[in-house]
């Protein structure tokens, strides 16, 4: 099991308040920004403003009047997400959240990126905002590998997926496409992408006139899901954490 002291991970320097809240597991960065706009966050007794910076351990940050508790340990988890779970901290529609699957962890961890409710496979969870950013941000170039079962002309789709296409007003293409198996009505593809836009692989397949039957993320960068059972999680090793941190 790998747990790290947060002061071993971050230098004490000014950071955006939303990033600090995210690193402490209070909320995602986007939700933290909404909390700031709603006036729920203060820095040294004054209401925080969007984009404001503060120094962890020096400035007093409070949420709803309660001082932000220090985070002493960082957690890095790999989960094999099953279908039927949303990758949010909670859901307004009452759907099951992936955090329910790691409720035995003695820390508030949150998903790194997303998999839609009908997708499954490799999902990382952490309470280290800098680590999450290193995995998610496009500038760090972490590829995502998916295994897709689809119905339709798989060979034709594979050729088209390797070419640029417009998805939601953005030009995207697969970094790599491999036909794994052909069946009587479709087959299986391995698709690797460099981006990570909302439902990107599904939308790319739809653009190629094939119907996705199942979609499973099998790798992020060089980190592979392996034989971790669906619905189960494990701690990342120190070597895996460093691998994901590297550019």
Please list the active-site residues: 116
User: Measured between alpha carbons, how far is 230 from 103 in angstroms, rounded to an integer?
Assistant: 16
Residue indicated by tokens 């203060």: 42
Residue indicated by tokens 């417009």: 166
CA atoms within 13 A on the CB side of 226: 9
User: Measured between alpha carbons, how far is 75 from 90 in angstroms, rounded to an integer?
Assistant: 20
Inter-helix orientation angle 238-245/129-136, to 10°: 60
Which residues, 6 or more positions from 85, have their beta carbon under 8 angstroms from its beta carbon?
Answer: 95, 96, 97, 98, 100, 101, 117
For 130, the token pair is: 């800098």
Residue indicated by tokens 């953005």: 170
């Amino acid at each position: 099991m790998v747990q790290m002291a947060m002061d071993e991970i971050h230098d004490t320097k000014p950071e955006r308040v939303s990033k600090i809240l995210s690193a402490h597991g209070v909320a995602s960065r986007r939700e933290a920004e909404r909390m700031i706009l709603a006036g729920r966050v203060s820095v040294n007794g004054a209401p925080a403003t969007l984009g404001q910076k503060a120094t962890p351990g020096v400035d007093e940050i409070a949420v709803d009047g309660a001082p932000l508790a220090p985070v002493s340990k960082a957690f890095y988890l790999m989960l094999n997400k099953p279908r039927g779970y949303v990758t949010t901290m909670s859901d307004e529609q009452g759907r099951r959240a992936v955090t329910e699957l790691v409720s035995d962890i003695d820390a508030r961890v949150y998903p790194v990126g997303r998999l839609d409710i009908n997708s499954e496979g490799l999902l990382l969870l952490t309470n280290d905002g800098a680590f999450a950013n290193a995995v998610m941000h496009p500038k760090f170039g972490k590829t995502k590998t998916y295994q897709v079962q689809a119905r339709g002309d798989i060979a034709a789709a594979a050729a088209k997926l390797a070419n640029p296409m417009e998805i939601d007003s953005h030009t995207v293409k697969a970094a790599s496409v491999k036909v794994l198996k052909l069946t009587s009505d479709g087959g299986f593809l391995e698709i690797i992408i460099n981006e990570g836009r909302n439902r990107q692989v599904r939308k790319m397949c739809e653009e190629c006139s094939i119907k996705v039957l199942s979609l499973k993320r099998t790798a992020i960068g060089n980190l592979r899901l392996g034989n971790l059972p669906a619905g189960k999680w494990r701690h990342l090793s120190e070597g895996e954490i460093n691998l994901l941190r590297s550019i």
